[in-house]
Amino acid sequence: LKGNRTTAECTIASKLPEYATYYKTIATPAIVTDMLSVMKRCLIPAFGKLTPSQVVGPLVSSYTLKRLETISPKTHKPVTHRTIQKELNYLSAMVKWMNKNGFAQEIREIDRPPSAKCKPQKIIQPLTIDELSRFTLQLPPDRQALALLMSDAGLRMTESLNICCQDIDLASGRILIKGKGNKQVMYPILTRRLFEALEREKGDRATGWLVINPKTSEPYGSIKTLFRLAAKRAGIQKPVTHHVLRHTYSTV
């Protein structure tokens, strides 16, 4: 009609050069290289001839299914949900850019694989008795007690860091822990080294935090970095975290 101008949507492939120029202003060179590689190898062959409004759920699902059946040339294994999520994130970002700049009239949210399927599976390897001994010796004396609470009593990191002197009953060989919902659980002191470490740190004190950060006069917030460095000094190749120590308690 006279006085009214209709605008046709652009295809995704036609706007990739302009989007790449824009993307270089907001991302690192490595990310830009990866994005262009994914676009040219995977996304453009599947969606390049389409406009953003044509990228609908069934097409995305078909793309996801096809990619899951593809063997990765790098790993020689089937492509994972995590990889597909990254690819669709690149596509979604470009579609939103086209809509923002007037190259697309209407867009739909692009469905990604569920987050639970995209998390990398972590394999926890418990320490052996020898590794645990070498690791503990690389810790400062006060932090040794905290590590042993995890490895020899099975406490969580937050429970170990916030334990108080009044929660430790050396006479009966038990530790009182206040868990979720104010539930109280008694943990037995099963090893001699844990008993000696707790006895050393507690001393004659009846109350107060068992281990105090001298810089803040409060319990340590985290000792993850300390664990990582101690494991390196002990010559342990596997990751050593508080989760690993708890798993070590249940296996060693």
CA distances (Å), origin 44, targets 91, 101, 193, 250:
9, 20, 62, 50
Which residues have C-beta within 8 Å of that of residue 65, sequence separation ≥ 6? none
Q: How far apart are CA 80 and CA 88, in angstroms?
A: 13
Query: Kindly report the CA angle at 115 between 109 and 118, in degrees rounded to 5?
Result: 115
The confidence score (pLDDT) of residue 7 equals 53
Higher pLDDT, 154 or 121: 154
Compute how many other C-beta atoms are within 10 angstroms of the C-beta atom of residue 117: 12
Q: What is the mean pLDDT of residues 202-219?
A: 91
Residue 145 and residue 195 in contact, taking contact as beta carbons nearer than 8 Å = no
Q: What is the pLDDT of residues 213-233, one digit of tens each?
A: 988 999 998 888 999 999 999
Q: What pLDDT does 252 receive? A: 59
**pLDDT at 114 exceeding the cut of 70:** no
**Cα–Cα dist 23/35, whole Å:** 9
pLDDT at 109 over 90: no
Q: What is the pLDDT of residues 126-181, one digit of tens each?
A: 889 899 999 999 999 889 999 999 999 989 888 899 999 999 999 999 999 876 66
What pLDDT score was predicted for residue 111? Answer: 74
**What is the distance between the alpha carbons of residues 32 and 103, in angstroms, rounded to a whole number?**
21
Measured CA distances, 176 to 67, 173, 183 (Å): 52, 10, 10
- Over pLDDT 90: what percentage of the chain? 46
Per-residue model confidence (pLDDT) at position 181: 66
In the sheet with 174-178, reading across from the earlier edge strand, the strands are 168-169, 174-178, 184-188
Instruction: List pLDDT tens digits, range 47-56.
Output: 999 998 888 8
Check pLDDT > 60 for residue 106.
yes
- Reduced to 3 states, what is the DSSP secondary structure of residue 213? strand
Q: What pLDDT score was predicted for residue 2?
A: 46
Burial (CB count <10 Å: 0-12, 13-18, 19+), residue 54: middle
- pLDDT over 60 (residue 3): no
